[in-house]
A and B are shown apart, each in its own frame.
Chain A
Amino acid sequence: NAGVTQTPKFRILKIGQSMTLQCTQDMNHNYMYWYRQDPGMGLKLIYYSVGAGITDKGEVPNGYNVSRSTTEDFPLRLELAAPSQTSVYFCASSDPTRISYGYTFGSGTRLTVV
């Protein structure tokens, strides 16, 4: 039972490069989320999904894209990386039928844009 798995754990990008942060969960959760955490700050929601084929913007979606083709996977795409996207990115999932179980988070991806 792996829970939520994020890859890679660390990445350095040059300005203007693109990359995809991978997130997969094996708990059959319908809801998945992407958050970013800047140093010393709380988490801000980038995008979320309530099921395969359904995604919606969160508080800070600019510069990112997502897709949800399967229940398990929720990749986050960065196009034209900028220094402002230097952050730690967390993926999470939850089961709407078991809301009291709360969120399960991945271990995060630390991204630096130089």
Chain B
Amino acid sequence: GIQVEQSPPDLILQEGANSTLRCNFSDSVNNLQWFHQNPWGQLINLFYIPSGTKQNGRLSATTVATERYSLLYISSSQTTDSGVYFCAGASGSARQLTFGSGTQLTVLP
């Protein structure tokens, strides 16, 4: 199966700052998703983005499929953005996602 690497593993920001999280894949993906796990453990789907760019409020994501990476941008961060951000992908005919190890984001007031 594919390997998924995320960076940085930890990120601490002041409220209002911007950040970029990166996800690299070992193989081409046809399914790529970003998730946020809040401090209570709930996993929320943020984006389905196997290619191109999407935006949802202060969050946006870009996937460059030919170079096997994806970026998640968080602008004007808020304390409620804290938690762990995971990217996950699947390649070929696989329907099951392989997850990266996550980026732990802490936004300080």
Report A's interface with B, CB cutoff 8 A.
31, 33, 35, 41-45, 48, 50, 58-59, 88, 90, 92, 94, 96, 99-105, 107-108
Contacts and interface: CB of A to CB of B under 8 A. Distances in A.
B91 interface: no
B42 A105 contact: yes
A48 B95 contact: yes
Given A42-B86, A42-B100, A99 B31 contact: yes
Interface residues of B, number: 22
B66 interface: no
Nearest to B40: A107
Contacts of A105: 35, 42-45
B62 interface: no
A43 B4 CA distance: 11
For B33, B42, B88, B96, the residue with the greatest tally of chain A CB atoms inside 10 Å of its CB is: B96
B96 A58 contact: yes
A33 B99 CA distance: 13
A100 B42 contact: no
B86 to A, nearest CB: 6
B101 interface: yes
Contacts of A96: 95
